Amino acid sequence: MGGDSRSVDILSASPLHPLAIEAIISSTEGTQYHVNGFSEAAHRVTEKLEKRRQQLENLLPGGSIWFTSSADESATWAIRGLLSTNSRNGNRVDVKDDSHISLINAAKRFGGNEGEVVVAAASAMDIETGRILNAEKWNHELNERLSSPKRILDARGIIGRLPFDSICEFADAIILDSESCSGPSGIAALWIRRGIRIAPMIEGSGQELGRRGGNIPLGLVNAFVKVAIQLDNEREQNCQKWSDLHNLLENGIIEKGGKIHGKNEDRVPGITCFSMPGPPAEIYLQNLEERGFIAAPSGGCSATAGKPSHVLTSMGIDSEEALRAIRISLEPNTNMKMLNELIDAMVN
């Protein structure tokens, strides 16, 4: 289908939000001044960056925002940085088995087996099925079995889907991404609770108050923050639209013998992970693309490597069924004509 194909998984592929396009185009005009430069123009750029930082911090009360190049970088920084500042007590990391793979990999890379568990990590939202972490329960269980570890929540995908204040109370570090909310690639953020010490990610020349070297791309920051604010403002109405759309979608899947993963659990609206009887996801996705729709395997990179999603297997789903799993995440303004065409393509 080429250019006629339409993405039906906005978490993995979607058009840039109009606000993001506007901000990026605007950033290419005129002379490019670096943040933290010495000229008057550079000072104005720095002021703009700090304004965007404050706007994002207003959405997440009680902490400070540090910009990074990706959510994976933020995850690595959170694990590595908090381990470094708490190493006197140990180097063990407790990661929930359904956490984002970048948290699991960072814990394996930088964690150890000595002393206490000093860092605990989980995903605030399972980005494969949309299941929501009960952050209060997770926090209570940590306090019962561990000695006050620093808590990291990976909040990929929650912008425009969950209120930020629902997780800030239960975290010392929060990972935010831009890509899953129709923002640009190449920018993300790490929120750190005020009073929590974290070692720098990259030693540089004092950028980000010495916490991360390298110049911050102001155009991408503008795009990311503007989209985040807009989607947070539209969250309630978009969530209602998503609920209506995905209820129809899931009913169509179930009628044809499909299974919705996490159906009876607390989930964000707008994400459906399902398996249909038959071939693995790769074949199913090829057939969908021939019908004009681009979806994604639930396990992302794991699936393309021929491995089942670790999130689904942690839910007790067998490997064969997990390899058939596909994720759909529709735009909230998807019209009924397109939805009916998608359901027809999926079940036939």
Query: Does the structure show a pLDDT above 90 at 347?
Result: no
Mean pLDDT of the chain: 91
Cα–Cα distance for residue pair 274/322, rounded to 1 Å:
9
- Mean pLDDT for 125-153 is 95
Query: Does the structure show a pLDDT above 70 at 302?
Result: no
Note the pLDDT of residue 305.
55
Contact 132, 163 (CB under 8 A): no
Residues 234-286: pLDDT tens digits? 999 999 999 999 999 999 999 989 999 999 999 999 999 999 888 889 898 99
Contact 156, 77 (CB under 8 A): no
In a domain? residue 126: yes
Quickly state the pLDDT bin for 36 (edges 50, 70, 90).
low
In a domain? residue 23: no
Alpha helices in the chain (DSSP H): 18-27, 40-59, 71-85, 101-110, 135-145, 165-168, 218-233, 235-255, 281-290, 301-304, 310-314, 319-322, 336-347
pTM comes to 0.93
Contact 269, 328 (CB under 8 A): no
Cα–Cα distance for residue pair 234/269, rounded to 1 Å:
14
CATH number at residue 105: 3.40.640.10
Quickly state the pLDDT bin for 104 (edges 50, 70, 90).
very high
Residues 202-231: pLDDT tens digits? 776 667 776 787 788 999 999 999 999 999
Cα–Cα distance for residue pair 211/53, rounded to 1 Å:
15
In a domain? residue 283: yes
Same domain, 43 and 100: yes
In a domain? residue 229: yes
Domain extent at residue 125: 31-233
Same domain, 37 and 168: yes
Same domain, 220 and 327: no
Number of domains observed in the structure of the chain:
2
Token reading at 145: 């079995």
Pairing of strands 272-275, 325-328: antiparallel
In a domain? residue 69: yes
Closest among 247, 347, 231 to 288, alpha carbons compared: 347
Token reading at 24: 């990026």
Asked which of 179, 213, 233 is the last residue of a domain, the reply is: 233
Quickly state the pLDDT bin for 2 (edges 50, 70, 90).
very low
- Mean pLDDT for 168-175 is 96
In a domain? residue 106: yes
CATH number at residue 261: 3.90.1150.10
Same domain, 191 and 319: no
Share of the chain above pLDDT 70, in %: 95
Asked which of 207, 233, 259 is the last residue of a domain, the reply is: 233
Same domain, 89 and 213: yes
In a domain? residue 196: yes
Same domain, 193 and 277: no
